[in-house]
Amino acid sequence: MRRPPGILGRFQHPAQVIVTGFAAVALIGSALLALPIATESGESAGWLTALFTATSAVCVTGLVVVDTATHWSMFGEWVVAGLVQVGGIGIMTLATLFTVLVAGRLGLRARIFAQAETKTLNMTDVRRVVRKVVVFSLACEAVTALVLTGRFLLGYGEPFGRALYQGVFHAISAFNNAGFALWPDSLTRYVTDPWICLTIAIAVIVGGLGFPVMFELSRGWRRPSRWSVLTRITVGVTAVLLVGGTLVFLATEWRNPKTLGALDGSGKLLAAFFTAVMPRSGGFNSLDLSGMYPTSWLATDLLMFIGGGSAGTAGGIKVTTFGLLAFVIWAELRGEREVNIGHRRLTDAAQRQAVSIGLISVALVAVSTYLLLALTSHGLDHVLFEVVSAFATVGLSTGITADTTPAGQVLLTLLMFIGRTGPLTLGSALALKDRIRRYQLPEENVIVG
Could you report the per-residue pLDDT of 287-331, keeping only the tens digit for each? 999 999 999 999 999 999 999 887 778 889 999 899 999 999 999
CA atoms within 13 Å, Cβ hemisphere of 226: 8
A 10 A CB-CB count for 308 gives: 32
Task: Spell out the domain ranges in the chain.
Answer: 8-427
Residue pLDDT, tens place only, 82-139: 999 999 887 657 655 555 555 555 566 666 666 666 665 555 566 777 788 888 899 9
Q: Provide mean pLDDT across the span 169-173.
A: 97
Give yes or no for a contact between 182 and 152, defined as CB atoms under 8 angstroms apart.
no
How far apart are the C-alpha atoms of 115 and 363, rounded to whole Å? 28
How far apart are the C-alpha atoms of 74 and 271, rounded to whole Å? 30
Of 312, 11, 284, residue with least CA distance to 133: 312
Give yes or no for a contact between 29 and 56, defined as CB atoms under 8 angstroms apart.
no
Phi, psi of 72 (to 5 degrees): -90, 145
Residue pLDDT, tens place only, 34-50: 999 999 999 999 999 99
pLDDT recorded at residue 52:
96
DSSP letter assigned to residue 39:
B
DSSP letter assigned to residue 344:
E
Q: Computed from CA positions of residues 8, 14, 19, 25, in that sequence, does the dihedral angle turn out positive or negative? A: positive
Residue pLDDT, tens place only, 355-396: 888 999 999 999 999 999 999 989 999 999 999 999 999 999
Instruction: Please tell me the pTM assigned to this model.
Output: 0.88
**Terminal alpha carbon distance of the chain:** 54
Q: For residue 344, name the pLDDT band (cuts at 50, 70, 90).
A: confident
How far apart are the C-alpha atoms of 279 and 171, rounded to whole Å? 18
Largest CA distance in the chain: 77
Amino acid (1-letter code) at residue 438 = R
How far apart are the C-alpha atoms of 70 and 183, rounded to whole Å? 8
Of 284, 76, 255, residue with least CA distance to 189: 284
Per DSSP, helices labelled H in 119-193 are 126-155, 160-175
How far apart are the C-alpha atoms of 54 and 31, rounded to whole Å? 9
pLDDT recorded at residue 351:
86
A 10 A CB-CB count for 98 gives: 10
Kindly report the length of the chain.
Answer: 449
